[in-house]
Amino acid sequence: MKYVATKVLKRLETNKLRGGFKDPQRTLLVPISFGVSSIVLLHVLNQQLSARAEAGRHSGYNLHILFVDESAVLKHAFLPDLLDMLKQRYPSHTYTVVSLEDYCDYDFDFDLPAFADARTNGHGVLDKITRFKRILSSLPSATSRADMIEILRRRLIIAFAQKHACDSILFGDSTTRLAEKTLSETAKGRGISLPWLIADGSPSHGINCTYPLRDLLRKELGAYVSMTLPPLTPLVCEAPSQTPTSSKETTIDGLMTQYFESVEQNYPSIVANVVRTSGKLLAPSILEDIDACTLCGCPIANMSWGGDQLDSAVPRLADGSGSEHGKAICYGCARTV
Ligand SMILES: [Zn+2]
């Protein structure tokens, strides 16, 4: 029990987010998916805040809990009862629900010219959900669709944090999840973005992102949720890992999840090693004149971004008239759309 809390709080301390009594009060955004990891993260942070409040000490930070409702595109539905249970158990924080299709309300320009057809049906502008579903169905594969949903979720969380003046985002990814991400992002041609996607303290899109559960395996968190008093198990609602009905529906992310599920049982040190190794990658300091990818928002680090696989310069999406003077995208996104 103590092991988990110690690991999490140590990470916060390393990233100077634990909040000493001299530090100004911070607002930390915690995205919640109702998976084991994010629930454990919230529980540990809440415990720390409660202990400080009982001792009459400066709390150091406030938590803003964000749930991204993906029911428009994923099979599992959003359960308002679960959110109510969470609010009852941890009442002192701020809670917000946003829908994935609400990306339209933020100022990142995701309705690219390449997706222009998705915007109207010839009679008028379509509603957000239909527009979003059209964009997804225009993508070439299940992996691309899963990739696009992941990119949107991350950008929406970051945009929300910026709009609400949060000081940092605490993602609940475990070691196992970060290892999955390392391999799947690399397989999807996004190896170059890894420092922005999984490293602690990376100034991703101008806001600090931290992964306080990076030293804990998913199976350790799974054991933790049943050991707390009362158990956290009723708050956890993981989407069942769906076995794709055909190989067409199989995604790289899905394969990686299955792979690391088995690896962490017998060879947990391999999982930790993947994350330690990729954690050593450093994000180059971002220069202002470097293009950011229009889709995923990661900086397009240099002109040789495609390695030997592409000999041209940074590709650009064709604009509405089909010319090539559209917006710059990174290698990973060029493979997705
Ligand atoms: Zn990109």
Q: With a cut of 60, say whether residue 308 has pLDDT above it.
A: no
Nearest Cα residue to 175 out of 43, 264, 42: 264
Taking only the tens place, the pLDDT of each residue in 200-232 is: 876 667 788 999 999 999 999 999 999 999 999
Q: What is the pLDDT of residue 74?
A: 78
Interface confidence (ipTM) of the complex: 0.98
Which residues hold their Cβ within 5 A of ligand 1, which is an ion?
A: 293, 295-296, 330, 333
- Centre of ligand 1 to C-alpha 293, Å, is 5
**Residues paired with residue 204 on neighbouring β-strands, in sequence order:** 207
Q: What is the pLDDT of residue 323?
A: 47
Nearest Cα residue to 145 out of 15, 13, 305, 336: 336
Taking only the tens place, the pLDDT of each residue in 63-85 is: 999 999 988 887 767 778 999 99
Who has greater pLDDT, 288 or 283? 283
Domain 2-285 has CATH 3.40.50.620: yes
Task: Enter the tokens of residue 327.
Answer: 């917006």
Residue 314: band (very low, low, confident or very high) from pLDDT cuts 50, 70, 90:
low
Are 169 and 308 a contacting pair, CB within 8 Å? no
Question: Whole-angstrom Cα distance, residue 23 to residue 19?
Answer: 6
Taking only the tens place, the pLDDT of each residue in 224-237 is: 999 999 999 999 98
Q: With a cut of 80, say whether residue 175 has pLDDT above it.
A: yes
Who has greater pLDDT, 256 or 124? 256
Pick from 34-43, 87-96, 119-128, 171-180: least confident: 119-128
Q: What is the pLDDT of residue 305?
A: 46
- Centre of ligand 1 to C-alpha 329, Å, is 5
How is the beta sheet containing 94-99 ordered, strand by strand? 94-99, 61-69, 26-32, 168-170, 207-210, 202-204
Are 286 and 204 a contacting pair, CB within 8 Å? no
In eight-state DSSP terms, residue 292 is B
- Centre of ligand 1 to C-alpha 296, Å, is 4
Pick from 22-26, 242-246, 263-267: least confident: 242-246
Are 190 and 336 a contacting pair, CB within 8 Å? no
Question: Whole-angstrom Cα distance, residue 333 to residue 148?
Answer: 9
- Centre of ligand 1 to C-alpha 189, Å, is 10
Taking only the tens place, the pLDDT of each residue in 107-165 is: 766 656 556 666 666 666 778 888 888 888 888 888 888 888 999 999 999 999 999 99
Question: Whole-angstrom Cα distance, residue 250 to residue 140?
Answer: 13
Burial of 285 (0-12, 13-18, 19+ CB in 10 A): exposed
- Centre of ligand 1 to C-alpha 273, Å, is 26
Nearest Cα residue to 278 out of 334, 219, 200: 200
Q: With a cut of 60, say whether residue 89 has pLDDT above it.
A: yes
pLDDT, the chain, mean: 82
DSSP reduced 3-state for 154: helix
Q: What is the pLDDT of residue 322?
A: 47
Q: What is the pLDDT of residue 7?
A: 92
Who has greater pLDDT, 22 or 215? 215
Q: What is the pLDDT of residue 232?
A: 95
Taking only the tens place, the pLDDT of each residue in 27-75 is: 999 999 999 999 999 999 999 999 999 998 888 899 999 999 988 887 7
% of the chain residues with pLDDT over 90: 35
